Amino acid sequence: MEKIIDEKKQGNTLVMEPQERNGRKLFIESYGCQMNFNDSEIVASILSKEGYNTTQNLEEADLVLVNTCSIREKAEQTVRKRLEKYNAVKRINPGMKVGVLGCMAERLKSKFLEEEKIVDLVVGPDAYKDLPNLINEVEEGQNAVNVILSKEETYGDISPVRLQSNGVSAFVSITRGCDNMCTFCVVPFTRGRERSRDPQSIIEEVNDLAEKGFKEITLLGQNVDSYLWYGGGLKKDFKNASEIQKATATNFASLLRMVAEAQPKMRIRFSTSNPQDMTLDVIDVMAEYQNICNYIHLPVQSGSNKMLEKMNRLHTREEYFELIDNIKKRIPDCGISHDLITGFPTETEEDHQDTISLMEYVKYDFGFMFAYSERPGTMAARKFEDDVPEEVKKRRLTEIVNLQQEHSKYNTERFLGKTVEVLIEKESKKSDAHWAGRNSQNTMVVFPKENYQIGDFVNVRIEDCTSATLIGEAVGYSENN
């Protein structure tokens, strides 16, 4: 399951610096996971070469694109409301073209184009290089669609435009698609089978970001731990590779080491991990390199073996505990977060209590918690009745959220009196006299600005905390400056 970003906070217009040679205006919004935001940067790069500058002003746009998410019903509802807004503007500006990108595009292409007639253009996640041709078709008066899923496309040859960037942190895509057929998840059907990107192109992108002054990158994929480069092609076809290809293949631990060594002063993060694919060599590489952050997002989805099997998660509760134990043994101060779904079909009170006890065992730093909502096209929608009453789902979700609040406070209190390294990312939301940035464990830290600047690595002594934020005083620059 993809890590979800709150649409209200992160569903934003993305803006790039204008280029004088470009005359047409592109308005692009992204919803859903970090992968969608990274894809929008790829789209902006492709269209900048076609004469488009991005704009924050919807009314002046020649082309309006929304990059969509299908993983939760709420995300789809949000996108539909935005399409209504676009079309209201389009009635005033009939020359404006509207397109849908991403996961909803693949799933609802006929509905959008033929039944509801609310868009001109529908483009799936593997077809962004075809955008110039599709736009030409639209300008000639035709509806245009390309939702073909690719076995090869990784966009490794596209240098993304860093949209609305703070100039400090950036995402670097390393895989596309997913082979894990979790029964609740639509991603394999909307993003296709898993394939990995050439490690050399990844290193080149990381080096380019370093030259541009970025201080932190997140290696991004639906399932980063199953990264495997053997010359190109689908992960599932690795079994047919030559002996030389197999002997020289690059796995995720090797890639992580390459990136860490390429830029020793750049912070490295990665997301998302899958318990069934995370190996001890990845944890060992994390422990070995100071610039790889001590933080793992490790979705579990449920603490019940019965539910895990029904979800087609290829790990058990006991195997998950073993992985957690190994992480904490090798990286004692590692921050760990989760995804959890409550109310999956047939979930009993006993299953729910298994999830509660798993949370008590791990004591996660934070998490992303959802009540199950049936997604069309998934195995769960086809095979299982959504039989847990809504009021039961809400009550269980409340119990999970409340427990996570307790654990989050427990974890932030561990930092009281300690000094942590913080990369300054932005001004604090609550005070223009304070900076905000994250420590290695991905916890937000705020402290008085003094003479420090965005992009500085600063040592901060922690004096107070909430369940989500550390509060302290800067004691000087860290050795990474």
pLDDT computed for residue 251 by the predictor: 97
Give the model confidence (pLDDT) of 280-316 as tens digits.
999 999 999 999 999 999 999 999 999 999 999 999 9
What are the φ/ψ torsions at residue 98 (nearest 5 degrees)?
A: -120, 135
pLDDT band for 18, please (50, 70, 90 cuts). very low
**356 located within any domain:** yes
Average pLDDT for the chain: 90
**16 located within any domain:** yes
CATH of the domain at 209: 3.80.30.20
Question: What count of residues does the chain have?
Answer: 481
Mean pLDDT of 261-272: 96
Indicate whether 402 and 444 sit together in one domain: no
Range among 14-18, 77-81, 110-114 rated most confident: 77-81
Angle, alpha carbons 426-171-278 (nearest 5°)? 120
Indicate whether 36 and 173 sit together in one domain: no
Indicate whether 402 and 457 sit together in one domain: no
Using the predicted structure, report yes or no on whether residue 151 has a pLDDT greater than 60: yes
pLDDT computed for residue 16 by the predictor: 42
Mean pLDDT of 306-334: 97
Spatial distance between the Cα atoms of 26 and 48, rounded to a whole number of angstroms: 9
**Residue 33, annotated as binding a ligand:** yes
Of residues 18 and 106, the one with the higher pLDDT is: 106
Token pair listed for 12: 């934003």
Using the predicted structure, report yes or no on whether residue 389 has a pLDDT greater than 90: yes
pLDDT computed for residue 214 by the predictor: 95
Mean pLDDT of 251-266: 97
Of residues 143 and 10, the one with the higher pLDDT is: 143
CATH of the domain at 454: 2.40.50.140
**137 located within any domain:** yes
Strands 144-146, 121-123: parallel, antiparallel or unpaired by DSSP? parallel
Residue partners of 183: CB distance under 8 A and separation at least 6: 310, 311, 312, 378, 379, 380, 383, 384
**Residue 185, annotated as binding a ligand:** yes
User: Where a domain ends, among 369, 386, 414?
Assistant: 414
Quote the percentage of the chain above a pLDDT of 70: 94
pLDDT computed for residue 22 by the predictor: 57
Mean pLDDT of 255-263: 98
Indicate whether 384 and 471 sit together in one domain: no
pLDDT computed for residue 31 by the predictor: 83
Indicate whether 12 and 133 sit together in one domain: yes
Indicate whether 244 and 336 sit together in one domain: yes
Indicate whether 316 and 173 sit together in one domain: yes
Mean pLDDT of 116-125: 84
pLDDT computed for residue 126 by the predictor: 86
Domain of residue 456: give its range: 418-477
Give the model confidence (pLDDT) of 59-100 as tens digits.
999 999 988 876 667 777 888 888 888 888 888 888 899 999
Q: How many CA atoms lie within 13 A of 253 on its CB side?
A: 12
Question: pTM for the full model?
Answer: 0.84
**162 located within any domain:** no
Indicate whether 242 and 372 sit together in one domain: yes
Mean pLDDT of 239-250: 93
- Helix H or strand E segment including 47: helix 34-48
Indicate whether 405 and 348 sit together in one domain: yes
**Residue 465, annotated as binding a ligand:** no
Query: Is the peptide bond preceding residue 272 cis, with omega within 30 degrees of 0?
Result: yes
Give the model confidence (pLDDT) of 425-467 as tens digits.
999 999 999 999 999 999 999 999 999 999 999 999 999 999 9
Token pair listed for 19: 């280029």
